[in-house]
Structure 1
Amino acid sequence: MTMASFITLWIEGISSLLGILEFEVRAFLTVGLVCLICGLVGAMVMANRMAFFSDAMAHCSFAGVALGMLTVLMFGYSLKAGDAQDWLVPLVMVLFSVLIGFGIAWVRERTNLATDAIIGVFFAGAMGFGALLLTALRNRSRFDPEGFLFGNPWVATDIDLFYLLILLGFTTILMIGRQNSFLLSSFNQTLAKSRGTSTRINQYLFIVLLALIVNFSLRAVGVLLINGLIIVPAASAANIARNIRELYLWSIGLSVTSGLGGLLVSSHLKLPMPEGPPLEFGPSGPILLIAVFGFFFTLALAANRAWNERFASGRSNPNTSCPEHPDSPNEPFCLH
């Protein structure tokens, strides 16, 4: 039995057990897996100040899709045949994103240009390349701009779940195995190098990981919103977490809550109209709006906690212990 067949049987069993349709099971599993993955890496993206970087990689996947479709044609496959697109297009997308990420890192190391300027140049080049190819392929492709931009987990397939399960395993192993190394490199590169940590290897590994996450998460929330799902729950967690361990736990929990809550809201939210059918809303908007609401809610909680601590201690500045590079997951931290 192949993994795809096992996933199909698993989904059929869940569908029968819960009394819901199979495509609904796939949608909730897809969003749940994407949120778990994004929650795992969000804190590290913030700590490395890579929010704009991950957003650029998401938009560069626009060119990766086009290049993948062109590759399918060049190898003699029909774009209407799903088998080739199931593996060849995602492979080309990931390779292209990794190439863009490595290019940004390489230029940043060898020039005095600001990082955002370098990212902007690569961003513009990738978007122009994607527009060029998609214009040429418009009569021979099944490209769905709306699905690409905003995502549609309701049409997720078993192969999508298979890829996400593998990605979740890879992300978990990498983040656990290199957690201390990643943290040290992000908070203080000089100290990391003095302790024998290769900051360059960490940087390139994390770029590969981001490329995989961005490209395989597009089905759930789309290219315009994937960066929000990476950053916003982590920012919310930073408001209330007291140490690194809590930061990861809160980031994952808030991400999954936003994803599943937004998907549930979108499946029931309809706006009645005077004429015609009611308006239905896609899932990506509610997912991100719930995440943003969570940020402001945790911001209010953090302000209330700070006020209570100040009142209890009788001091004007209670936050006196906030090391730049905590030595253990239970120490306080700052994401400056």
Structure 2
Amino acid sequence: MRTVSDNDVRVTLARYVRGERVSCDEVSLHDLSGALVACDDGEHFLVATVESVTALHASLLAEVLPLDELLKQDVLSPSQRARIDRVGEQSVTVVKTAVYDGVRERVELSELHIVTTPRFLLVLGHSGMPSGGVVADSPVAVARFKSGTRGAFYHVVERIAQGYVSVAEDLERDVEGIELQVFGGDIHAPEHIYRLGREVLKFQQAVVPFADALDGLVDELESVDDPHTREALQTKRLMRRVSRAMERAAGLRELLSEILEVNSALIAQQQNEDMKKISSWAAILVVPTLIAGIYGMNFRRMPELSWVLGYPFALAVMAVSSGLLFVVFKRRNWL
């Protein structure tokens, strides 16, 4: 791969002929514009990726891209909810990729804008994370790319959907770890539950809107085409994969809620056991405390004070009453 040294925004440009990549270069926006014109012969198509797109980059790209004005607005607008906008054979898909950091237990989201036309596919990373990782060469990719930019588009979004499934699996493993943590009596379990629940919610915010967008695309395709066309079937297959990830995320939220309820029940049970012990020992100690308090008042006319056996008798009453209470509470499993 060669590198063009200028101050323009960098674009990784790959050229495909009959599904096979024949070249891959880093080019400027000016070179990209020329390449788009050159590929107008229909013999090949282009796949371009741009990483860490800023507002300035987006405006520069909008100037050179031969897109409908409505679709250019999508390119210029980052931080959007997942959507698929189509104008004729052109489309802009906004989607969030998801990667799970198992060490920090965080879901990292990256916003991608995927511009698709019959001549080129452009993947823009809008949130500072690499977008090039979603396009790769493999036997599956070659088969998909043979059908042109639409096949390349479905290859890209299916890799994103597979990323959703992987994140859901990683989250499930961590939720299983929380279950062990809760039943092990870890006092930090509630904090862990809330933290992981926040990450599951973040993951849902990426998956659910994209599933809704795909559902709308399926309805659109079925309304204008045969529901058994290649594109409709590919969209339905993609929809099923995203839906599985969405259902697993919803299941994880419910499971975390149940685990939190179990944790609260275990804490309440432990507090109840502690209160039983505290109450039992308080009852055991109240009798000797009462006796000592009575004879500690030092009234003059207290017959027991002048009795020879008064002191050992008081000690005996204290010991016997405390012992009896201890036996009673022990039999009731309060101690």
Instruction: State the TM-score, normalizing by the size of structure 1.
Output: 0.28
Report which of the two structures shows the higher radius of gyration computed on alpha carbons: 2
- Which has the bigger relative contact order, CA under 8 A and spacing at least 6? 1
Report which of the two has the higher share of helix. Answer: 1
| Higher-strand-fraction structure | 2
